[in-house]
């Protein structure tokens, strides 16, 4: 049985749905849930609403709380990993042999490790994503899909979705507006950025958002930018190519053009720019170690026996809480253990997901395709294997500019934002900054909002 936030008679009442869809779209526009259109991605002259669900989606209260409560531990874990060069080197040894992207990141990490560290403030804004795994013999459990330590988007717009779903509540549906939770990751993330700016200690410093050439999701960023402007902190937006042309370091490694940077982009057009920024006195978000800590390979290594204990040596309770969220994760390294993983995947490919060291959705491999890749490719160490998580489907209407509205069977993914600042060895900020629910039609195995598959949603606690 699928679980929905609204009763069957509402879900199937076409006239009512039509009316609600119109109200929902207007409310979304009214509250700034915006996206530039595919046709004019460079301009805000014509915009539309960001894809979203008509109704919120039920999420068990205890699992939601569990995800919130473990976030500060994940913040700490990422920070500890980012500083542990021996661990990163060992964990990523396989992927950096065959995956150029990870290899280049690692090269920059090594280069800056060998130099005197120009900045002792480390800022990390991350998002840990989960699905609720349902097995026949037990209640749903919280399973981490991945942690994003770079370009963790939708903190801005997720701050505005509750207003849309609450408005439908006002239409006397069974969605009680109070059960759609308050959520303000824009403020949570901006507070951490503001704190980092303050610690940097120069009124002349600006926060730079490093952005891609095509910025359809600009309104998501603007929410956070506005939160900073409200605190009188200046913000600029620059592309890699801009920094390449105009950025320079002075003798103190002060980065001109940029002083605090927020890497909202994954497409590294210029590795030179990345190295220059990494060497600079700017507070980076993320720094290169933090980015590497968020790789799929690190996630897999963390799930091996004894590894979490390395980072939390005297904290068995912390270890247990983090470990409870891990799905089965398996190495593809060359050797007996990797061979066992391959045999296991080939025997039951539908039970697993094969993941490369990539971000942004649409890169994973499923089902029979796993067999093909494993049989053809010699570069298996670039991947990790993960148990496929099976969330309970729910039915909802997905609203997307230009697409017909139809009832869809959907799967949801819960993200929790975290913010962490360390200055030298002192942790000065460690907070959970809000949540994000994304929902997609169950016919897609993979893919986020950016690639046009998932849409924004709200948890409705049950
Ligand atoms: P990316 O960094 O590209 O977002 P993810 O690990 O989040 O990589 O995978 C992309 C999408 O694939 C997820 O949003 C989810 O829908 C699906 N997915 C990933 N891992 C699993 C899994 N173990 N079980 C089920 N679905 C998964
Ligand atoms: Mg990711
Ligand atoms: Mg993801």
**Looking at residues 76-85, what average pLDDT do you find?**
97
Residue 358 contacts residue 447 (beta carbons within 8 Å): no
Instruction: Please tell me the predicted confidence (pLDDT) of residue 50.
Output: 97
Torsion of CA 9, 15, 19, 20, to 10 degrees: 20
**Ligand 1 centroid to residue 326 C-alpha, Å:** 13
Nearest one of 265, 269, 291 to 278, comparing CA atoms: 291
Q: Which residues lie across from 249 on neighbouring strands? A: 255
Query: Which run of H or of E encompasses 238?
Result: strand 235-239
Which amino acids bring their CB within 6 angstroms of ligand 1? 129, 131, 145-146, 327, 353, 355, 358-361, 363-364, 386, 388-389, 413, 446, 448
Task: Say yes or no to pLDDT of 213 above 90.
Answer: no
**Catalytic one of 328, 338, 360, 452:** 360
Which residues have C-beta under 5 Å from ligand 2, the single-atom ion?
146, 148, 359
Q: How far is CA 438 from the centre of its chain?
A: 11
**Ligand 3 centroid to residue 253 C-alpha, Å:** 34
Instruction: Please tell me the predicted confidence (pLDDT) of residue 1.
Output: 45
**Cα separation of 321 and 455, whole Å?**
29
**Looking at residues 427-452, what average pLDDT do you find?**
91
**Pairing of β 47-49 and β 407-423:** unpaired
Instruction: Please tell me the predicted confidence (pLDDT) of residue 171.
Output: 59
Q: What is the pLDDT of residues 133-164, one digit of tens each?
A: 998 888 999 999 999 999 889 999 999 999 99
**Looking at residues 86-107, what average pLDDT do you find?**
96
Instruction: Please tell me the predicted confidence (pLDDT) of residue 377.
Output: 67
* 355 annotated active-site: yes
Ligand 1 atom at minimal distance to the Cα of residue 440: 16
How far is CA 228 from each of CA 70, 189, 197, 234, 418, rounded to the nearest angstrom?
27, 10, 10, 7, 18
Taking the model in full, what pTM does it have? 0.95
Which residue has the least CA distance to atom 11 on ligand 1? 446
Domains of the chain in sequence order: 57-166+176-327+408-461 (3.40.50.1760), 331-388 (3.30.1490.50)
Q: What is the pLDDT of residues 241-276, one digit of tens each?
A: 888 777 777 777 776 655 555 544 444 457 888 898
- Enumerate the known binding-site residues for ATP: 146, 296, 355-364, 366, 413, 440, 446
Task: Say yes or no to pLDDT of 169 above 70.
Answer: no
**Looking at residues 267-296, what average pLDDT do you find?**
88
Q: Residue written as tokens 């590795």?
A: 271
Compute the Cα dihedral for 58, 61, 66, 72 and give only its sign: positive
Token couple for 219:
């309104």
Query: Which run of H or of E encompasses 298?
Result: helix 296-302
* 153 annotated active-site: yes
Q: What percent of the chain has pLDDT over 70?
A: 94
Instruction: Please tell me the predicted confidence (pLDDT) of residue 250.
Output: 78
**Pairing of β 207-211 and β 235-239:** parallel
**Pairing of β 121-135 and β 138-148:** antiparallel
* 148 annotated active-site: yes
Instruction: Please tell me the predicted confidence (pLDDT) of residue 269.
Output: 58
**Looking at residues 302-328, what average pLDDT do you find?**
98
Radius of gyration of the chain measured on its C-alpha atoms: 22
Q: What is the pLDDT of residues 357-370, one digit of tens each?
A: 998 888 999 999 99
Compute the Cα dihedral for 342, 344, 350, 351 and give only its sign: negative
Which residue has the least CA distance to atom 12 on ligand 1? 446
Task: Say yes or no to pLDDT of 194 above 90.
Answer: yes
**Cα separation of 273 and 280, whole Å?**
11
Higher pLDDT: 246 or 290? It is 290
Confidence of residue 122 (pLDDT cuts 50, 70, 90): very high
Task: Say yes or no to pLDDT of 354 above 50.
Answer: yes
Mean pLDDT score of the chain: 91
Task: Say yes or no to pLDDT of 175 above 80.
Answer: no
- Enumerate the known binding-site residues: 127, 146, 148, 296, 355-364, 366, 413, 438, 440, 446
């Amino acid at each position: 049985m699928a679980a929905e936030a609204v009763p069957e008679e509402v879900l199937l009442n076409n006239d009512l749905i039509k009316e609600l869809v119109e109200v929902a779209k207007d409310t979304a526009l009214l509250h700034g849930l915006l996206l530039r259109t595919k046709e004019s991605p460079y301009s805000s002259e014509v915009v539309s609403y960001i894809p979203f669900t008509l109704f919120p989606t039920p999420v068990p209260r205890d699992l939601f709380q569990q995800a919130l409560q473990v976030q500060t531990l994940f913040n700490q874990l990422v920070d500890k990993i980012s500083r542990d060069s021996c661990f990163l080197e060992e964990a990523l040894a396989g992927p950096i042999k065959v995956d150029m992207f990870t290899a280049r990141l690692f090269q920059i990490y090594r280069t800056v490790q060998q130099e005197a560290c120009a900045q002792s403030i480390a800022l990390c804004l991350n998002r840990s994503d989960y699905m609720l795994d349902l097995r026949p013999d037990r209640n749903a459990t919280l399973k981490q899909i991945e942690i994003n330590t770079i370009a963790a988007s939708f903190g801005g717009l997720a701050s505005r979705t509750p207003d849309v779903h609450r408005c439908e509540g006002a239409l006397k549906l069974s969605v009680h507006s109070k059960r759609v939770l308050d959520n303000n990751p824009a403020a949570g993330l901006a507070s951490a950025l503001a704190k980092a700016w303050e610690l940097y200690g120069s009124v002349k410093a600006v926060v730079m958002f490093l952005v891609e050439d095509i910025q359809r999701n600009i309104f998501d960023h603007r929410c956070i930018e506005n939160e900073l402007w409200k605190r009188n902190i200046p913000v600029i937006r620059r592309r890699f190519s801009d920094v390449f042309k105009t950025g320079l370091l002075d003798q103190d490694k002060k980065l001109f053009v940029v002083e605090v940077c927020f890497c909202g982009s994954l497409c590294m057009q210029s590795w030179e720019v990345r190295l220059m920024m990494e060497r600079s006195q700017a507070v980076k978000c993320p720094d290169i170690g933090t980015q590497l800590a968020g790789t799929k390979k690190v996630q897999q290594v963390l799930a091996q026996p004894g590894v979490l204990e390395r980072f939390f040596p005297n904290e068995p309770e912390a270890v247990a809480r983090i470990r409870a969220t891990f799905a089965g994760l398996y190495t593809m390294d060359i050797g007996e253990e990797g061979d066992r993983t391959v045999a296991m995947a080939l025997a039951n490919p539908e039970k697993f997901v094969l993941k490369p060291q990539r971000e942004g959705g649409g890169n994973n491999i499923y089902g029979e395709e796993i067999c093909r890749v494993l049989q053809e490719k010699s570069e298996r160490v670039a991947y990790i294997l993960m148990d496929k998580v099976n969330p309970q489907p729910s039915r909802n209407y997905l609203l997307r500019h230009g697409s017909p509205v139809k009832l869809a069977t959907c799967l949801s993914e819960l993200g929790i934002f975290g913010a962490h600042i360390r200055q030298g060895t002192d942790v000065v900020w460690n907070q959970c900054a809000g949540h994000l629910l994304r929902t997609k039609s169950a016919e897609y195995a993979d893919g986020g909002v950016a690639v046009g598959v998932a849409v924004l949603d709200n948890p409705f606690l049950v």
